[in-house]
């Protein structure tokens, strides 16, 4: 077998090596996405810096634009007011545009708990432009399109719950049953399923 690639891998064709490189690039870009999510949740500024190039742009909606590590890492400080928070990323689609450029889109789900234990959820669509600089893939530009936020003031939130006992689960079921009865009895027609 003759490989035309400058770094031939024994047993692989040039096409297979090319596809393997693409997989590695996609994985490196997804790793940057995960560093953002976990960095925000843990307020880990070093992890956030590892997600973005030092001159990166993070745009959330049409008016909130952060440029560079100093501004972008402030997003982690905003989150310290939450009792708990989780960013989940899913449906990653990364397209390699060349040896040093890629772009991608993914969906995000956020779950927040306020200090008074109100549960908030939301979704967003993230559009990223990735670049490899000095051999490292990071986000160069991120556009966040917030899709919705929803407040769930009646949800029972237990931070660091005890072992899931039948008693604890039954208490949650009973609270939900009473909430449904109250909605049904209120005559608003908003009886949940």
Q: What percent of the chain has pLDDT over 90?
A: 49
Give Cα separations from 31 to 58, 70, 178 (angstroms). Answer: 17, 21, 44
Return d(Cα 104, Cα 141) in angstroms, integer. Answer: 11
Q: Which helix (H) or strand (E) holds 16?
A: helix 14-42
Give tens-digit pLDDT for 12-39.
Answer: 898 999 999 999 999 999 999 999 999 9
CATH number corresponding to 14-156: 3.10.450.50
Q: How far apart are CA 80 and CA 148, in angstroms?
A: 21
Q: Are 22 and 3 in contact (CB under 8 A)?
A: no
Task: Give me the residues paired with residue 98 across strands.
Answer: 101
Strand order in the sheet with 119-133: 64-67, 52-60, 136-152, 119-133, 101-113, 84-98
85 pLDDT band (50/70/90 cuts)?
confident
Name the DSSP letter for residue 134. Answer: T
* Bridge partners for 87 per DSSP: 110
Q: What is the pTM of this model?
A: 0.76
Q: For the chain, which residues make up each domain, given as ranges?
A: 14-156, 161-193
Task: Choose between 1 and 172: higher pLDDT.
Answer: 172
Give the length of the chain.
193
pLDDT at 2 over 50: no
């Amino acid at each position: 077998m003759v490989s035309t690639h400058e770094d031939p891998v024994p047993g692989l064709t040039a096409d297979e090596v090319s596809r393997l490189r693409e997989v590695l690039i996609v994985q490196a870009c997804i790793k940057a996405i995960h560093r953002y999510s976990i960095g925000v949740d843990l307020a880990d500024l070093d992890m956030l810096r590892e997600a973005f190039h030092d001159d990166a742009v993070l745009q959330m909606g049409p008016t909130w634009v952060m440029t560079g590590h100093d501004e972008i890492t402030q997003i982690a400080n905003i989150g310290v007011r939450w009792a708990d928070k989780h960013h989940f990323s899913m449906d990653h689609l990364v397209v390699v545009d060349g040896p040093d450029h890629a772009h991608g889109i993914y969906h995000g789900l956020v779950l927040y708990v306020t200090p008074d234990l109100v549960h908030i959820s939301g979704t967003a669509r993230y559009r990223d432009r990735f670049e490899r600089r000095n051999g490292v893939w990071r986000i160069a530009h991120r556009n966040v399109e917030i899709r919705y936020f929803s407040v769930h003031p009646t949800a029972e939130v237990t931070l660091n719950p005890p072992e899931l006992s039948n008693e604890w689960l039954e208490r949650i079921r009973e609270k939900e049953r009473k909430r449904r009865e109250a909605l049904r009895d209120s005559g608003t027609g908003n009886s949940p399923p």
